[in-house]
Amino acid sequence: MKVNRRKLKNLILYISAVCEDDVHWGAIKLNKVLHKADFGFFEAHRESITNSNYIALEQGPAPNAMVPIVRELVETGRLAIQKRGRQKRPVALTDPDLSLFTAEQISVVDKAIEELRHLTAKEASDNTHDAIGWIAARAKAKATKKSVVIPYESVFISAPPADPYEKAHVRELVSQHGW
């Protein structure tokens, strides 16, 4: 799957503009909103909005092309990065081209923004750690010491919530093996 760089750039600008007043807004939440929107749209329509490959980072999923795309947006004067303490806040300096998106795509993005708006970056990251696709890709990334792409199709895999015994067993394994 080849990323649609134009759509990704404009979606970054759109989300950054909409989230400008979010006190918890920063680069980490941008990654989480993009992931939630792309995977949510894929679940409903069998296609993503940006065609981005999301890699399983320790803090959750992020588009593989994020760093070069943001760098390009900054270098062309379309985006600024404000540093506030530990936050790196993307700030849109130009309007996004929304003609690239359907109304339904923007609606899914808006829903992702609203679902994550009240969360801190850590809470938004922790929220993504329940996704089976991220769990599997992150385990493989740790084992191989390489970036691993989270398959979009993983949205169709579900598991029943773990019971208290299973959660305790997982914590014990994590402690024993240093995962």
pLDDT in tens, 9-50: 999 999 999 999 999 999 999 999 999 999 999 999 999 999
Judging by DSSP bridges, how do beta strands 60-63 and 79-84 pair with one another? unpaired
What's the total number of domains in the chain? 1
**pTM, whole model, 2 decimals?**
0.88
The reported pLDDT for the residue numbered 4 is: 97
AA letter at 113: I
In the chain, pLDDT over 70 holds for what percent of residues? 97
Which of these, 135, 132, 129, 136, lies nearest to 159 by C-alpha position?
Answer: 132
Contact 75, 66 (CB under 8 A): no
AA letter at 101: F
Q: Which ranges of the chain have pLDDT less than 70? A: 174, 177-179
The reported pLDDT for the residue numbered 120 is: 94
Domain extent for 113: 5-177
